[in-house]
Chains A and B, each alone.
Chain A
Amino acid sequence: MESRYMGLAYLAPYIIGLLVFTMIPFLGSLYLSFTDYNLINAPVWSGWANFSDLTTDRTFKRSLNVTLLYVFLTVPFKLAFALLIAVILNYKLRAIGFFRTAYYVPSILGGSIAVAVLWRYIFADAGLVNLVLTSLGMDAVNWFGDPVNALFTITLLRTWQFGSAMVIFLAALQAVDKSLYEAASIEGAGKWASFYHITLPLITPVIFFNLIMQMVQAFQEFNGPYVITGGGPLKSTYLLPLYIYDEAFKNFNMGYASAIAWVLFIIIMVLTVAAFWSSKKWVYYAGDKRS
């Protein structure tokens, strides 16, 4: 007979990893955020100095604003698009597999640096996007020279990758009991009404899941601005992860960088907790608990 601790033996790799690569670094970064540490001398305790420096740091302020703007622009945009396409695909279309694949491809490739490189080219002054715009009789846009446009190119890149959120939506839509629609239609409900009163409530758990995942991810966006815009122009795409990277790995201000990381972490946590808290009001859980 095996001991009741046998399960723990199987978990050993996880427990070690959790301690060494997650818990200790997590607490370590909290500690570092209260120190000055340049990798050469031992960390020196500096109390709240890093955090009070942040309140007067104009780069930080700018970076924080840009990050919030980016997240609040990208996440709704991407989720709305993913849901829209999923809803269209959910009708009995013949080529559903084909379209699903076509829309999913950018998600698979989107994280690659090669795609960020491609973005630099197609949004260049004489790039593909401007050529299309001028051929349609519109004015060419200075994508990378203008602060708002530059950030928008990164939003577009991530929206372009809506495929994985769409596949999750689609799976949820296909799981909706079809008899509910028939019942609603007999009751005289129109398509919009049944979408609003049946479909939407039933897929709220998945909307919630996608919202949290996309938000946590968007707050950590690095590759896009690092490769496409380098954080410019005028730091308009200088998201907080870029600032953390520069402070930590270019200037070796490990303490200050950790303080920024913690501010970012707390923002993400507060929004996640707020989402969980509000979910009681809008997320619908059917009788069986979805795990």
Chain B
Amino acid sequence: MSNVNTHPPLSAVTPSKAIALTQEDRRAEQIQTFVRYTLLTVVGFIMLYPLLWLVGASFKTNAEIFGSIGFIPQEPTLDGYRKGWETSTPYTFGRFFWNTFLIILPKTIFTAISCAVVAYGFARFEFPGKKILFASLIATLLLPNVVTRIPQYILFREMGWLDTYLPLWVPSAFAGDAFFVFMLVQFLRAIPRDMEEAARVDGANSFQTLIYIVVPMLLPALISVMLFQFMWTMNDFLGPLIYLSSVESFPVSLALKLSIDTTEAFDWNRILAMSVLALLPALIVFFIAQRYFIEGISAGGVKG
């Protein structure tokens, strides 16, 4: 790694010596590149192999799951999927996927609308108390949820919202994820205001400007927001665990935990098969819309 150290000042070497050094350098460079690729490939393989193994194991018989390193099943079977899908409850996993969808869809839409409106207010207006409100946004960003969770639970209980999706939906309609507001504000600040000012001169009010000018420009960032919300909600476990008690309204995450607790001790492939299905939507969405994730995360910095 230290070959560059050996570079003497150029003036001090004769031309022929300089060429020899460059060749040596190039060789060292090639070796380094090789080492880097090898390292990246090996580490990447080790990291992704568990996922590969998971997919393979979901098609294995229960006897084969433990005891083999390989991921290709000897006697491929769909038993895990067939029986896992049925579950030991009166509902199939189809129901749980539907429930997940019912939680995600309103939540994602509410998040996009409320965060866009609030970010617009922060990025384009001056008003009394703006500084302190923006400071509160940053404070909320750093505030650990663990400290507000219990009173929130009591609040939703008082309102009679337990065992409904309302506790999961409603906060997102009030720009509940400070992070997204912050990300959109940053994005808006980087967009020049010319178009908006032109619209205002033409007589549009600020709301029309928001709808017709700002939202279209904000669209890529809004897609990032919705995708992240989709992923987080898909993976959310603690929220549903606290608020939902009837199996019929369980999302996939809770149903999966339930199936570990209730499935017979030797029916491993059912659980693995359902785990594969649980990961599938997030994987598909990620590969379709990768660009938005990487851009969103690089621009704003995301937890995860």
**Interface on A for B, CB 8 Å cutoff?**
2, 4-11, 13-18, 20-22, 24-26, 28-29, 32, 39, 85, 88-89, 91, 93, 95, 99-115, 117-118, 120-122, 124, 126-128, 131-132, 135, 160-161, 163-164, 167-168, 170-171, 185, 188, 190-192, 206, 209-210, 212-213, 216-217, 219-220, 222-223, 226-227, 241, 244-245, 248-249, 254, 257-258, 261-262, 264-265, 268, 272, 291
Contact = CB atoms under 8 A, between A and B. Distances in A.
A245 to B, nearest CB: 8
Contacts of A109: 51, 279, 282-283
Contacts, number: 270
Interface residues of B, number: 99
20 contacts: A10-B125, A11-B121, A13-B118, A17-B114, A17-B171, A21-B148, A26-B147, A28-B150, A100-B294, A108-B282, A117-B271, A120-B260, A126-B67, A188-B7, A220-B146, A222-B237, A226-B237, A249-B242, A261-B147, A261-B150
A185 B174 contact: no
Contacts of B102: none
Given A100-B294, A108-B231, A261 B149 contact: yes
Given A5-B127, A219-B144, A21 B152 contact: yes
B53 A8 contact: no
A26 B148 contact: yes
Given A102-B47, A109-B51, A109-B283, A26 B275 contact: no
The residue in B43, B120, B122 that gathers the most chain A C-beta atoms within 10 A of its C-beta is B43
A99 to B, nearest CB: 5
Given A14-B118, A117-B260, A168 B301 contact: yes
Interface in B1-24: 1-2, 4-5, 7, 9
B304 A114 contact: no
Given A103-B44, A164-B302, A268-B144, A108 B257 contact: no
Nearest to B231: A108
A135 B69 contact: yes
A239 B235 CA distance: 20
Nearest to A112: B235
Nearest to A110: B304
B299 to A, nearest CB: 8
A131 B66 CA distance: 9
B148 A29 contact: yes
